[in-house]
Homo-oligomer: A and B are copies of this chain.
Amino acid sequence: MAEAPPDDCRPLKYSIHKFSTFSSNYVPELKYFRNILEDKPSNQGSRWSSDSNNPPQYLILKLDRPAILRTIKFGKYEKTHVCNIKKFRVYGGLSDENMILLLESGLKNDTVPETFLVKYTVAGHQFPVRFVKIVPLQSWGSTFNFSIWHVALGGFDEWTMVQKCINWYTTYREREAIRLCLKHFRQHNYTEAFESLEKRTRVTLEDPRLTRLHKMLVDQGDFDGCEQLIGEAAEEGLFQQYIRQQEYKPQWTPIIPNPGGSSGPPPRPGMRGGHQMCIDTNTQTIYLFGGWDGMQDLSDLWSYHISSQEWTCITRDTHAEGGPSARSCHKMCLDPERRQIFTLGRYLDSALRIPDNLKSDFYMYDIENNKWTQVTEDTASLGGPKLIFDHQMVMDVEKRIIYVFGGRVLTPSRWEGCVGGLGLDELRTNNYTPSEAIFSGLYAYHVSTNTWTKLRDDCSGNSTGPQDIKSRIGHSMLFHSGSRQLFILAGQRIKEYLTDFFMYNIDTDTVTYISDGTRKDSSSVPAAGFTQKATIDPHLNQIHVLSGLSKDKDKRDENVRNSFWVYDISQNKWSCIYRNEQTGESYWSKMQHVEPCPRFAHQLVYDDVNKVHYLFGGNPGKASLPKMRLDDFWSLRLCRPSTQQLYQTCVLLIRKHRFSELARENSVMALKYLQTRLHSAVDHSDPQQVQEFQALATTLFQPQDDTSVGYVQAFPDDDSSSTPTTTDLGWRHTARSMLFDQLTQFFPEHMTQPRGNLVDLIPY
């Protein structure tokens, strides 16, 4: 997914400008050495080495000529080396004192040179650098010095083009400096200075609409006019950028079934783990089948109708109706157009793994006609997968093809009794994947022709070509109907937790790795080893991952983490929506109506039309109650503010401020305003807003406290002393300016004055 360097990048010559420290002979460039300018992987001495890894360490290179820097390449030694840099930053600038961050990354500890693309634009334009500063932060051998073997810089230094960039950049920075001054002068009421500067430089501080807002609000006090302007802005969609930047807030809601009539509580699915759910968004129905209740496999089929919040038991025993026998660790997928459900795979206790039982039976359920059909007695006999469990199955509804990937193949037991297979959705026996475990590959099933095709075998062994796929269990696989890609994430093999993430294009049969899992920054992607359930939203282009309890009993007490992540496919960016690291029974029993406790072997489905997730049951992994399973049912919504909510927020801010001005002038009018216009702006269903509203009333009857005003006017206009004062006019100007800042935060950045403040930039 990385951007390729431009083809016509040229090597840029440089010399060593400065360095923090160096060890003995490992100086970057003495008269007698050309260490890092040259790439000599076999020469142990050909490097810059700091004298320790105590911060700050740095190396500053000076380009022979100013240039647009595009790439930086680090050479390596011919063997791995403890001094290689695991984490570093690169800065660049026209002077060695003012630099901006161009790159933050790290090197692999191997022998392969690595090239990186660096930041080279600001505000949409290319900017030139003369100095490049490399700051090592961590070495691979954590107590060792840093070494840089070789650096090559690439970019463009053709002078006419670079000169244009320098000119643009100078003008850009000057303009930004002037804008900061204008903002400052306006805030502090240095009116004449503001006007002189604006006229002389002709720099625009902000979008004219916001200048109009400022005049209306700060100069004229036309509050109604402000509300109207903001309403128009909201309607134009100007708040969208702000909304998109807000974090999602997770909202879990337990779904309590409607209380029954006199016939007692209505039927609902019993506690289980290793079951399957799928959702038909067209009919807003969730289907649930099978599982393990702690004692035995189940074969009941249920449907849940979302709007009526009712469960219906379709079949108590599918087997009796020509459907699959009781099972768990099976997989299910749904075709919403033809209204068919398919199920494949199941787990077998080792005692039952005799060849006759090891047929991979494949069923289809016709929803319309409530009819089960055994499609195939053994898919393996048709070239499909053998009997597997803990695989993944998804459907390309448009082409009517089902994809099955991974899972472990059930083979005839070699031993009786205690040594069982690894039941990943069911912790029933000693969990054990024998070293000769076979993992199933990637298959496609054409429904219409009832044909199985094997697309990929498990590539075993260490050398993986870029088109090879490692099979696995406990992974997630999702189908993106728009781009027609399968997304495959994580999972495990024998004692090995995988952290890779790749796409398989079903039309071109190509594999593309999004992350090979080697450069893992543990805080910015979901952690490996925890049961994850994933869903996809092909419209918003997002993948959601819910991580929970580790299947591995040994790992379970460590890092138990309920966390929810969103992966933005277009931006290739993971965001953590929330992370709950709480452990302990008392905590989770308090939370039982607030958030589902950590678990595995549960099911998560996603309504991509209404943007709601549903979760049912699973195994809470209680060491004291190993047979206990859950039967709770939850919905999850990820919430962001809406345009209307933001508009209401602005109105409330404006009216609260209006109230505070009235309170200083005329308590009676203020009280009336509070009871009418301010009252109508409050959302009385929000307890916090109500509480604040009530507090405001009491302030009418208290002395004013001006120390609460956020910033103090250092040089007020009244020509009195030069100490800060809070005259009424001064207070009003300041308070209205603060309100202006609050209102404009919802507008897009390209429209507003700079967010920063001049005073905050002063160093000490």
Contacts and interface: CB of A to CB of B under 8 A. Distances in A.
Interface stretch (A107-115, A415-423, A548-556, A711-719): A711-719
A185 B712 CA distance: 25
Contacts of A712: 166-167, 170
Contact of A714 (B171, B715, B758): B171
Interface stretch (A172-180, A217-225, A468-476, A728-736): A172-180
Contact of A715 (B202, B722, B760): B202
B707 A163 contact: yes
A195 B175 CA distance: 20
A477 interface: no
A712 to B, nearest CB: 5
A764 B137 contact: no
A489 to B, nearest CB: 23
A762 B177 contact: yes
A250 B188 CA distance: 52
A100 interface: yes
Nearest to A101: B764
B177 A759 contact: yes
Contacts of A193: 193, 196-197, 200
Interface string A520-533: 00110000000000
Given A87-B54, A138-B54, A181-B181, A711 B170 contact: yes
A762 B169 CA distance: 12
Nearest to A762: B176
B184 A190 contact: no
A492 B9 CA distance: 58
Interface string A187-207: 010101101110111110000
Interface in A83-112: 87, 97-98, 100-101
A761 interface: yes
A59 B203 CA distance: 40
A724 interface: yes
A284 interface: no
A265 interface: no
A142 interface: yes
A55 interface: yes
A393 to B, nearest CB: 36
B758 A177 contact: yes
B202 A197 contact: no
Contact of A170 (B87, B175, B185, B724): B724
Contacts of A166: 712
Contact of A523 (B51, B55, B98): B51
Contact of A100 (B54, B55, B203, B764): B764
A756 interface: yes
B167 A715 contact: no
Interface string A478-498: 000000000000000000000
Nearest to A178: B715
15 contacts: A24-B559, A54-B138, A55-B87, A55-B138, A122-B764, A143-B143, A167-B712, A171-B715, A177-B184, A177-B762, A181-B181, A192-B200, A196-B196, A756-B763, A761-B761
In the A-B complex, the 8 residue pairs with the closest CB atoms: A174-B714, A761-B761, A193-B196, A193-B197, A192-B196, A142-B143, A171-B714, A100-B764
